Structure formats: structure tokens, C-alpha cells
Chain A
Amino acid sequence: MTPERPAFFEGQILAAADLTSAIDYGRGQAARHERYLHDWGIAEGLELTTAPDSSGQYVDVTLNPGVAIDGTGREIIVPTSRLLSTAEFFIANGASPQAATNYPILLHGLDTNPPAAMLTTGACGPGGQPARTEEGFGLTYGALGAELSLDGQQVPDVTAGPVPAAGQLWEVLVGSVQCDASGQHFTAATSAGRRYAGVKADTVSARSGTLALRSQPTATPGQPVLMVGGDPPALTFGLYQGASSYLSLLTVSAQGDVTASGSIKGQLAQGETRVQSGTATDGMIIPLPAGITQDQVDRGAVILHLFLTPHTPQSTPATWYVPVDCSVDTSRRLSCQVLVGNSSSISGGAQKQPGAADYLIVATVASGASQ
């Protein structure tokens, strides 16, 4: 149904429906904004917290104040802390409670009409009609796994206001509780798995000249931030050091220059080379350069060039070293043998020992090879 904007004129006799339509128009507009420009979820607060109960054996679970936006665009406000009811939980899940298992706690908007005040006696029109609607909330003690179907809730028609489609309450997960084997006491609560409100936007712009995207509501030291803009303009990824300063880790300048304080890894380009070097002892497998896998070598996608140099101590008049083998097999296993002798063993008696080799291995991406 096409939305209708109420219009008034001088001398018009206003009926209750006229005033109600003025309010409904605004409510519908606000709900469509929330529904189509935002993702539904928790906007603020609504954490579940625990405290030891009177027995000291179990916990009381409290839903803290906060705000959520549901999928109809309705704002759900929890104005004050609410103690979760073990009795209601037992009614919902007490038939076969599973201890140490997360039961979802679901929040939904709920309209109620408080008793109307009798303003006049004998006035025209019906008396005792409610003149206010309280936009309250309700809690559902969900069955195991009930939270898994929340993303499938039915969104109202495009013209509709904050009214659940097909009369189904729109549920928002605020956390989970665990109970004991009797199902009559809470033992724990968690806020894990909650869905938070988001933004649907094709363009996000800044007025200060710098747009910041961060992972926490406030700038928290050690947490990441992505900055776009600045002077000179750049795209920067970094970590907050304070409320307004951050350590730049990766920057793309306006000229397209990329500066990273760490290493950059990615697909190898044809002709690209990777190098590893060091010293290995007899029997070891010469390691591949970083980023090169044995599979790439086996498939011929990478060609290896290996250079070995016997790694022997400097011979002295007392002791001498002569390499007799320094090679690798097809699996790059090093075979390295050295003759060790002393001044009395020049004519024989030198001992063959395992040795070491300095290696330089170069991996080159073969032309036409697929990675």
C-alpha cells in the first residue's frame, strides 16, 4: 500500500485517525530507513552479565540496558536491567534440560497499552480508551539451536512500517545461558554469537577529509584502523597507539607506491625468483626458499638452482680438512663428507667424517607454469 502523508487544512475537524496517521507516517519512514539502510542487530549494550545467586552455587543472569534494531526497522529499548527468570526458562526448556549447553536468549519488541486515565465523566466518545502505546520488549528463552534460524526471519513489505510480517515477532539474540541438570538454575551466561547493527551503504564519505574504519567503537591502542584520505591523500592500514595516533603498517600513496613495514606475500609471477641460503650438515634436506612449496617443484612450476660449497674449518699445521663429497640427491638431501687428518696422518690414516656445506638455493618460476 502506498504510504500516505497526512495533510491538514484550517477549520478541519480532526479525528483520532488523522492524528494517528500523522504518527504512523513518521514511524513508517523511520522504520524503512532502519530496515533498508541498516543491518538489524544490537546497537548498544544488552550484555548478559552474571553474579552469584543467593545459594552461592549458581548465578543470576541480568540483561543490561541497551538498544537493538530489529529486521522490521523497529527500535527495541531495554531501559533498565532485567533479571532473567529461571522459572520462565524452566517452562520453556525444563522438559529435558541439557546442562552446560548454550540456550539462546532472544529479545523482541512488544507493544503494550497501559491503563488509560479517566479524564472526564460524561464526555462524548468512548471512555477508558488507551491514549498511549508503550514500546516495550519481551524475552524468549529459546530452545537449543533457535538462534540458527534468526537470519531467515521474514522482512515486511517494502511499504510497511515496523510491523512484523505474518505476525511473527522479530527476535534478536542477546546471548545464551547455561543451566544445571534440573533446568531450574543458571550456571553461566555468554554474549557470544550476538549480531550487531550495521550499515548498508554504497558510498561512505568523510567531511574532515579522512575516513577511518576501525574494529572497536573507540580508538583502542593495539587495535587496527584503516584510514582513507589525509594530506597527502593515502590509504593506510595501521594500529592505534592512542586516541588519535596510529602506527602505519601499510600505505598506498596517491602515486600508487606501496610501503609496508612487514613482508608482502602473494602469487609468484613468471620469472620471479626466491632465494634461501645458509649452512646444512650431512643428511639434512636443503630447505626451499620461503613461499616455495614442494608441490610447485614437483609440478615443474618452479625450477631450482642449488649451489653448494663445502663448509670446513680452516686447516692448520696440526689439523687439515679435505672435502671428499658435497652433493644432493633428487630430494635435495645433502651428502657431505670430509677427510680430517693431522700432521701424522698425511700418508694415511685420515678419518672420513660427515661435514657441512654452505648452500644457496634459487627458485625461479618457470615460464608458462601455473601456480
Chain B
Amino acid sequence: MTKLTVVQLKDTGHVLAALTRADPPQGTEPVGALVGVGLPVSSVDGVTADFTVPAQDLAPVTVDDQPEVLLNPQGFLVVQDPQGQAPQVTNVSASGQVAFAISASSGASVTVSNVTSATKLPVVVVLQNVTSSQAPAILPTVTAAVGAATAVSGKTGFVTGDKWKTYAFVQGLSPTAEEVTVT
């Protein structure tokens, strides 16, 4: 059976890119051979993006081929079988909501809601100041408590009225993109 190699976000399992090969290599493969120093991301949740995820935040996984993954990689995530079986690729959950709030006085926070399968979830956040056209920044992974606001960044750099693009990769949920105005 044809194998599919996916490149996943290590902390959340989101598939960011995928590849099939007629003659796949044997053994493990460094992620750098697939993405170089990093993987450019040009779209998240249908919203244009322009950031690069460093190779050290990514991991390759080989699974049985699923052609639909090649058409929309971000619609899938890697699930590690707790019983030690081979990892699988499955659809991200359509439920769950992610909302950002950015305040000049208290910084940025993310709230994950409508999730019943877990009380805490790892989140990878990317922020970009649209107003000043700054380069996007990938923030350190945070663990968000479901139903509560979780701080992802301090207040430094946020100016009231500025618009920021926020991209969130919450484990198990579809990646989201949202434009937020600093209050």
C-alpha cells in the first residue's frame, strides 16, 4: 500500500504538509530532508498567512495513504495510538471554538470553548501585527484551560487600535485565523 508522509506540528499533531513517493526511503528520515530549515505556511483556515514554522517544531510521520490529505493537509491531525500501534491521520474536529482577545494593558489571551473531550489543550499561536506590517511571530506553546482565557503573550508591543492577525493551532481542532483589534 502506498505510504503518505505527513509533516506535523509536534506539539499539537496538526498536519501542515504531505508527500507521497513511489519509492519511499527505508527507516527514519530527518524532517529537514522534507522541509529544509522550515515549512512556509501560506494559508490558515482560508486566510492568507506568511510565516515559516521552524523544522525543530515539526516532525515527519509515515501513515497509510489518504488521498484527501493532499488536498487539505490542515484538515487532518496525527493521532498517536496509546497502545503503541502505528500513528494514524484523522480529520480535525469541526466543533470547538477559539477566540482571541488582545489588550494593550494585559496582552494577548486565547479562549478555547465547546470542547468536551479534554479540559486542557496545547495551543500553538502565531501573531502578526497587520497595522505595522511586522513579521509574524510563533509564540511558545501554551496549555489552554477549556472555557477560560489563557495568556499567550505579555502586553509589550500591543498598541490600542492596532489590528493583529492571530493564527491558532489547538490540539484536536481545526486551525483558526482571526483578525483582532487591540483594545
Q: Do A and B bind each other?
A: yes
Chain A residues in contact with chain B, CB under 8 A? 275-285, 287, 289-290, 311, 313, 331, 333, 337, 351-356
Could you show 19 A-B contacts with beta carbons less than 8 Å apart?
Answer: A276-B22, A278-B21, A279-B20, A280-B17, A281-B17, A282-B17, A283-B41, A284-B18, A284-B34, A284-B39, A285-B34, A287-B21, A289-B23, A290-B25, A311-B70, A311-B71, A333-B40, A337-B42, A353-B46
Contact A278 B42 (CB under 8 A): no
In the complex, chain A residues whose CB is within 8 Å of the CB of B48? 352
Q: Bound state CA distance, A278 and B19, in angstroms?
A: 7
Within 8 A of A (CB), among B99-139: none
A281: which of B19, B22, B23 is its contact (CB, 8 Å)? Answer: B19
Known: A276-B23, A278-B20. A331 touches B36 (CB 8 A): yes
User: How many Å from the CB of B147 to the closest CB on chain A?
Assistant: 32
Contact B35 A353 (CB under 8 A): no
Chain B residues in contact with chain A, CB under 8 A? 7, 16-23, 25, 33-36, 39-43, 46, 48, 70-71, 73
A280-B19, A284-B34, A313-B71 given; 4 more Cβ-contact pairs under 8 Å: A276-B21, A282-B42, A311-B71, A353-B46
What 5 A-B pairs are tightest by C-beta distance, nearest first? A278-B20, A278-B21, A356-B70, A280-B19, A277-B22
Known: A281-B70, A313-B71, A356-B71. A287 touches B42 (CB 8 A): no
Q: Bound state CA distance, A356 and B75, in angstroms?
A: 14
Closest chain B residue to A312, Cβ basis = B71
In the complex, chain A residues whose CB is within 8 Å of the CB of B33? 285, 287
Dominant secondary structure at the A interface: strand
In the complex, chain A residues whose CB is within 8 Å of the CB of B43? 352-354
User: How many Å from the CB of A131 to the closest CB on chain B?
Assistant: 67
Q: Bound state CA distance, A311 and B48, in angstroms?
A: 20
Q: Bound state CA distance, A333 and B70, in angstroms?
A: 16
Contact B70 A279 (CB under 8 A): yes
Contact B23 A290 (CB under 8 A): yes
Known: A284-B7, A284-B34, A356-B71. A279 touches B19 (CB 8 A): yes
Q: Bound state CA distance, A252 and B173, in angstroms?
A: 57
Q: Bound state CA distance, A289 and B25, in angstroms?
A: 9
In the complex, chain B residues whose CB is within 8 Å of the CB of A337? 42
User: How many Å from the CB of B30 to the closest CB on chain A?
Assistant: 12
Contact B23 A283 (CB under 8 A): no
Contact A283 B16 (CB under 8 A): yes
In the complex, chain B residues whose CB is within 8 Å of the CB of A290? 23, 25
Closest chain A residue to B38, Cβ basis = A283
Q: Considering residues A275, A282, A354, which has the most beta carbons from chain B within 10 angstroms of its beta carbon?
A: A354
In the complex, chain A residues whose CB is within 8 Å of the CB of B73? 281
Contact A284 B42 (CB under 8 A): no
Q: Bound state CA distance, A313 and B41, in angstroms?
A: 21
In the complex, chain B residues whose CB is within 8 Å of the CB of A351? 46
In the complex, chain B residues whose CB is within 8 Å of the CB of A333? 36, 40
In the complex, chain B residues whose CB is within 8 Å of the CB of A276? 21-23
In the complex, chain A residues whose CB is within 8 Å of the CB of B39? 283-284
User: How many Å from the CB of A350 to the closest CB on chain B?
Assistant: 12
In the complex, chain A residues whose CB is within 8 Å of the CB of B71? 311, 313, 355-356
Q: Bound state CA distance, A93 and B158, in angstroms?
A: 72
Q: Bound state CA distance, A355 and B40, in angstroms?
A: 13
User: How many Å from the CB of A294 to the closest CB on chain B?
Assistant: 9
Contact B35 A284 (CB under 8 A): yes
Contact B21 A283 (CB under 8 A): no
Q: Bound state CA distance, A8 and B31, in angstroms?
A: 83
Closest chain A residue to B29, Cβ basis = A287
Contact B42 A283 (CB under 8 A): yes
In the complex, chain A residues whose CB is within 8 Å of the CB of B23? 275-276, 289-290
A285: which of B20, B21, B36, B46 is its contact (CB, 8 Å)? Answer: B36
Q: Bound state CA distance, A119 and B17, in angstroms?
A: 96
Contact A283 B35 (CB under 8 A): yes
Contact A278 B41 (CB under 8 A): no
Q: Bound state CA distance, A283 and B53, in angstroms?
A: 11
User: How many Å from the CB of B66 to the closest CB on chain A?
Assistant: 12
Q: Considering residues A283, A354, A356, which has the most beta carbons from chain B within 10 angstroms of its beta carbon?
A: A283
Q: Bound state CA distance, A276 and B33, in angstroms?
A: 15
In the complex, chain B residues whose CB is within 8 Å of the CB of A283? 16-17, 35, 39-42
Contact A284 B19 (CB under 8 A): yes
Q: Bound state CA distance, A278 and B70, in angstroms?
A: 11
Closest chain A residue to B53, Cβ basis = A283
Q: Bound state CA distance, A282 and B70, in angstroms?
A: 9
In the complex, chain A residues whose CB is within 8 Å of the CB of B40? 282-283, 333
